[in-house]
């Protein structure tokens, strides 16, 4: 993704930090496993939630928030918004926020990520609704399901200081992603990376 055309899109963490972000959930199997892995390693991550999945699994949204992970809006149905009007984008984002708050009335939703990184006019709309557009520096294409070893390799070789990493806990079989995250966190910690949140550690 070329963030130069979208200067308001965050794609960095602080200093030698690295930020893991997860899209397309919540998933009834992979998200709870991932939450267990993150708790074991004492890592916080951003979960960019898809509205229709939130409606199917509201209890998992509550688990994510109870574990201290920030939430992001990832649209209602994972549609490409690149050609949408601001009014249509705003309606979708508000519908998604409402779905999240039905699951968790006290939810804070500080981030928005456009499906496919197809931003169109969504950064300004998201900002007007109080959300920070969230990009990424590293995408390891875990949707290809190339095997856990390969995902670990892509993470080991691709992570750089300040990277926001795009991963998935929903949208398909994400067992390889969960296993790769479990394996790579100790490797990155041994290299003196800190796990933080995008741009500011809050």
Residues serving a catalytic function are 23, 168
Alpha-carbon torsion angle 63, 64, 66, 67, nearest 10: 110
Strand residues in 65-113 grouped as ranges (E): 71-73, 111-112
Cis peptide leading into 110, omega within 30 of 0? no
Collapse the DSSP code of 87 into the 3-class scheme (helix H, G, I; strand E, B; otherwise coil) and give the result: helix
Collapse the DSSP code of 17 into the 3-class scheme (helix H, G, I; strand E, B; otherwise coil) and give the result: strand
d(C-alpha 101, C-alpha 198), whole Å? 22
Closest CA to 77 of 174, 173, 175, 171: 171
């Amino acid at each position: 993704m070329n963030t130069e055309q979208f200067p308001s899109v965050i794609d960095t963490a602080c200093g030698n930090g690295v930020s893991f972000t997860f899209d397309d959930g919540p998933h009834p199997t992979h998200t709870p496993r991932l939450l267990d892995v993150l708790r074991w390693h004492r890592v916080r991550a951003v979960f960019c939630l898809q509205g229709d999945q939130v409606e199917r699994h509201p209890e998992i949204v509550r688990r994510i928030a109870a574990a201290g992970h920030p939430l992001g809006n990832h649209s209602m149905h994972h549609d490409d918004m690149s050609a949408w009007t601001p009014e249509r984008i705003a309606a979708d984002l508000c519908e998604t926020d409402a779905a999240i708050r039905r699951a968790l009335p006290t939810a804070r939703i500080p981030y928005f990520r456009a499906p496919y990184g197809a931003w169109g006019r969504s950064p300004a709309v998201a900002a007007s609704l109080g959300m920070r557009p969230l990009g990424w520096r590293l995408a390891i294409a875990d949707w290809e399901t190339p095997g856990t070893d390969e995902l670990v390799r892509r993470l080991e070789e691709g992570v750089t200081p300040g990277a926001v990493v795009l991963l998935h806990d929903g949208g398909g079989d994400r067992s390889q992603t969960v296993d790769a995250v479990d394996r790579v966190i100790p490797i990155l910690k041994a290299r003196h990376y800190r796990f933080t949140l995008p741009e500011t550690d809050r």
